[in-house]
Amino acid sequence: MTLVGIDIGTGGSRAVLVDDAGRLVASASAEHADFRSPSTGWAEQDPDDWWRACGDAVRRVMAAGRAASNDIRAVGLSGQMHGAVLLDDDGRVLRPSIIWCDQRTESQCRWLDATIGPDRLLELVSNPALTNFTLTKLLWVQQHEPDVWARVRHVLLPKDYVRFRMSGEYAIDVADASGTLLLDVAGRRWSREMIERAGIDARMLPAVFESPEICARVSSEGAAHTGIPEGVPIVAGAGDQAAGAVGMGITRPGAVSATIGTSGVVFAATDRPATDPKGRVHTFCHAVPGRWHVMGVTQAAGLSLRWWRSQLAGGVSYDELTEEAAGVAPGADGVLWAPYLMGERTPHCDPNVRAALVGLASNHGRGHVVRAVMEGVAFSLRDTFTIFSAMSIPVHRVVVGGGGARSPLWRQIQADVYGRATETVAIDEGAAYGAAILAGVGAGVWATVDEACDAAVRVAGSIEPRADVVATMNDRYAEYRRIYPALRSITQGVEHKETYV
């Protein structure tokens, strides 16, 4: 018996096969076309390219795992969050999807703040109006592309479009729906008041399910495209952060993950919908029924290193870059990186701030800059730990994941910056693996998500922080925190006097 997990990411789609003991059988990926950025801060992708890549990845993983089609028990889906996929009455895509990192909707956020109010937004949907959230994208299309908006009949998120193509069903899970700004996160249902006050037709929104619930089955068209047999159940799944947390065993309060992918996320499971009154971290439903999570987001985490490598380092290998960085002492000899290539979410909620490399001198080389980039991303993620402390969110263990966890240097940098031991898991397949676990719960392989994670997720190793380096990183972090106010004074033309916490 085999479970299929699928993650519709930003750079590509990934599929995994997992057996009924939670062991990884095979994995495969298919790249997406690069996202388009027609204007500064914009980001769009073609949803049909996701569907093409999904089919490629699933067929490859089934071939790699030599899976018999009649062995497949269930399918779980995950994917990039917040994207707006707009469909007409026949389910045809009306325009490219405006994806998670797009920053064009600042005026729509201001409208929501003026119309509904920041405090009422927190009461209704547990989150502030941010440019990343789906609702702001819908309002932008409504204002700037009225001809398109007039034809919209269905709104889906990226993975849910793939589910629609696979099954013909319109559905979403509570975790992914939390990032739309339209869900009553505390009540785990669409917010009628928010929908009405935002002027959205509720009939456009899909049905909401808990993440392990079966909500669809593979159709004949889906079977022809993927090779998964018709009739196989599909669970609701989760957005990539909640699914990735499940894949790392982050399901109970006290467990925290720090994941460096394209973006970076610090994610804490909670038994209540804890809300930051300043809106600096997100409060979402977890993929575990009856639980929630809080998370802080760095927009350009792994993207910072990828951008540096492709644009300024001549495309040399990551291994060569990190080897050079490893030869530089902690603190990068005074070089600091502020990773604001795509604006920033946590803790600043500022779509207009831009990245900065500070402290360069003539004796610095490429290794200094690469180490500064890696440390700067870790400093940015540490901001979320700082906010968690202010919110009394418990942090008993930290598990690191994503591309940042595959680099021994970046793992050590994170341990030193956070001042905590950082664990890695044996199966580092992220959201696709978590989606497969959710599929197993839906199919009855495990009774609960906790039981599944206890059975399947294993710690592979741990790195301890070094006391002398922690002291250096604390000093550097204090200096890092002075960069944003300076950048803010430049971009806004006024002195920024607010503090982080």
Q: What are the residue numbers of the active site?
A: 240
Other CB atoms within 10 Å distance of the CB of residue 437:
31
Tokens at residue 349, please? 């909620």
Cα 81 to Cα 240: distance, rounded to the nearest angstrom: 7
Which residue in this structure is represented by tokens 């930003």?
10
* Residue 42: closest CA among 97, 93, 92: 97
Contact 216, 166 (CB under 8 A): yes
Q: What sign does the dihedral 323-325-328-329 (CA atoms) show?
A: negative
Cα 32 to Cα 13: distance, rounded to the nearest angstrom: 7
Phi then psi for residue 441, to 5 deg, are -65, -45
Tokens at residue 191, please? 């917010």
- For residue 33, give the H/E element and its range: none
Q: At what angle do helices 467-480 and 366-390 cross, to 10 degrees?
A: 80
Please report, in angstroms and rounded to a whole number, the separation of the first and last CA atoms in the chain.
49
Other CB atoms within 10 Å distance of the CB of residue 159:
34
21-24: Cβ within 8 A, 24+ apart: 21/455, 21/456, 22/427, 22/437, 22/440, 22/452, 22/455, 22/456, 22/457, 23/456, 24/427, 24/429, 24/433
Q: According to DSSP H, which parts of 208-351 are helical?
A: 220-226, 240-247, 302-312, 318-326
Partners of 337 in the beta sheet? 357
* Residue 24: closest CA among 330, 357, 367, 456: 456
Residue partners of 247: CB distance under 8 A and separation at least 6: 401, 425, 427, 429, 430, 431, 432, 433, 434, 435, 437, 457
